[in-house]
Amino acid sequence: MIKPRTPPGVMELLPRDQIAFQRMLDTIRLTFERFGFLPVETPVFELSEVLLTKSGGETERQVYFVQSTGALEKQGEGLPELALRFDLTVPLARYVAEHEHELAFPFRRYQMQRVYRGERAQRGRFREFYQCDIDVIGKDALSPRHDAEIPAVIASVFEALDIGQFTIWLNHRKLLRGFFEGQGIEGERQLAVLRELDKLDKRGEDAVRSTLVGEDFGLAADVADRLLAFSRVRSAGHDDALAKLDALGAGTPLFEEGRAELRELLGRLKAMGVPESRYAINLSIARGLDYYTGMVYETTLDAYPQIGSICSGGRYDNLASHYTKSKLPGVGISIGLTRLFFQLRDAGLVAGADSSVDALVTLLDDAGLDHALALSQQLRAAGLNVETQLEPRKLAKQLQYADRAGIRFVVIRGGDEAARGAVAVKDLRRGEQFEVADAGLAHRLLVERGQSSVAGNP
């Protein structure tokens, strides 16, 4: 007999944890939709030649290929035809290029699906995980005003998730690159320095400085010191952010362009009413991916910095250059929800939720089955989620079952209640019991659940 076990690098949850995870997904989805983003889903696999166009290096070594057993027998040289998506950005690029003439621009899309990477199996690293992305894609151009809306979405998502205080860190790649130009760092060296500065949180200042002045980079000690001083700039509050930007002094035209766009973004956030405690500039944020060209964002939980970034993204010049001649600039962010949920659960910030079932209608004997079925249907029609016991069992067993399953209300109809045309309801959350007439049961449960008695109210 084969031992049942899940493969390493996946998260498989028991029902009450799955409900908690699903509610996070639902909260994120509703928030994205409130900001006018439209849903998109793409196939779990893409053509290998499409998926791997812009990858290479570490990414290509982590791709899972898909092959049927029949095709495997006939396979010659070269890569298999299909591969599992490793993020949602490449599929989006293909999607927008393929449907370019059918879409309305700016195209505002959200996508919440699993992705797959051949990560080394270790705690907190997943081979299958959910990403929750939004992007705004323009045709030929996209106003920087869209860049300011993204942090407002991030703030709304994490306020709705209610997982603790958080900070959205803001920076601008033009500001960084312009500062590098002022230090005599040009061309490809800029990208190398960006990638190194992006490791500050993981490696620390001393290690990064040693690398910058070492043989590979060869920066002068005073240049490295200025880079690190620049990277230490943080703000605390809206006015302080503007003051910190002013204090940077004059710079190259690219530097000034980045600073002006950051100032504009800060003003838009204030206009949208995003609390100033939710955002701050952090000039060490670089986002190591080379395709980011403008604003960049990272979000962290204030009390749990060890969790790292829980949402990140930024502005890019041309999403789909490999698939179309059209210029399609965009801005977007991604939430790695599987990793976030795993770490929040470990930190005790989320716990298994009550069941999505509102009430259990018990069955004490076969004679009461028709009434139990009819009553259950009445409750469902009123907007309640109901499970009906279809086999009579001892009441204690049915109460124990409801308690273990996380069902709050247990509806009981014994002989005395039947004679009065009523039922008893045990509220397992409060440890209380009350009696109510059959006709008033749905309304009472909706009230107890904390909602109105409007049928179908979620």
Q: What digits encode the pLDDT tens for the residues 114-170?
A: 999 988 877 778 999 999 999 999 999 999 999 999 999 999 999 999 999 999 999
Q: Where does residue 202 rank: exposed (0-12), middle (13-18), buried (19+ CB within 10 A)?
A: exposed
Structural contact between residues 11 and 342, judged by C-beta atoms closer than 8 angstroms: yes
For residue 374, what pLDDT is reported? 97
Q: What is the CATH T-level fold of the domain 1-146+335-353, as seen in this structure? A: BirA Bifunctional Protein; domain 2 (3.30.930)
SS percent in the chain: helix, strand, coil, step 5: 45, 20, 35
**Number of neighbours of residue 43 by Cβ within 10 angstroms:** 11
Same fold, 165-302 and 359-448: no
Residue 170 CA to residue 10 CA, distance in Å, equals 32
Structural contact between residues 67 and 75, judged by C-beta atoms closer than 8 angstroms: yes
Percent of the chain with pLDDT over 90: 71
Mean pLDDT lowest among 65-74, 193-202, 247-256, 263-272: 65-74
Residue 455's pLDDT band (cuts 50, 70, 90): very low
Place of tokens 């690398």: 211
Whether 56 shows a pLDDT value over 90: the answer reads no
**The CA-based dihedral angle spanning residues 80, 82, 86, 90, taken in that order and rounded to the nearest 10 degrees:** 120
Structural contact between residues 332 and 313, judged by C-beta atoms closer than 8 angstroms: yes
For residue 202, what pLDDT is reported? 82
Percent of the chain with pLDDT over 70: 95
Query: For residue 133, how far is the Cα from the chain centroid?
Result: 7
Q: What is the CATH T-level fold of the domain 359-448, as seen in this structure? A: Rossmann fold (3.40.50)
Q: Which DSSP string corresponds to 304-373?
A: -GGG--SEEEEEES-TTTTT-SS---EEEEEEEHHHHHHHHHHTTS--PPPPS--EEE--SSGGGHHHHH
Edge-to-edge order in the sheet of strand 45-47: 45-47, 82-84, 65-66
What is the CATH architecture assignment of 165-302? 2-Layer Sandwich (3.30)
Residue 4 CA to residue 229 CA, distance in Å, equals 54
Place of tokens 């060490």: 284
> Which tokens hold the place of 305?
């910095």
Burial 118-134 (b: 16+ CB within 10 A, else e): eeeeeeeebbbbbbbbb
Q: H-helix or E-strand containing 109?
A: strand 107-116
Per-residue pLDDT tens digits for 262-272: 999 999 999 99
For residue 457, what pLDDT is reported? 40
For residue 453, what pLDDT is reported? 36
**Number of neighbours of residue 204 by Cβ within 10 angstroms:** 11
Closest by alpha carbon to 299, among 273, 337, 270, 259? Answer: 337
* Domain locations in the chain as residue ranges: 1-146+335-353, 165-302, 359-448
Residue 58's pLDDT band (cuts 50, 70, 90): low
User: Taking the model in full, what pTM does it have?
Assistant: 0.89
Q: Are strands 422-427 and 107-116 parallel, antiparallel or unpaired?
A: unpaired
Structural contact between residues 297 and 333, judged by C-beta atoms closer than 8 angstroms: yes
> Which tokens hold the place of 144?
């920087």
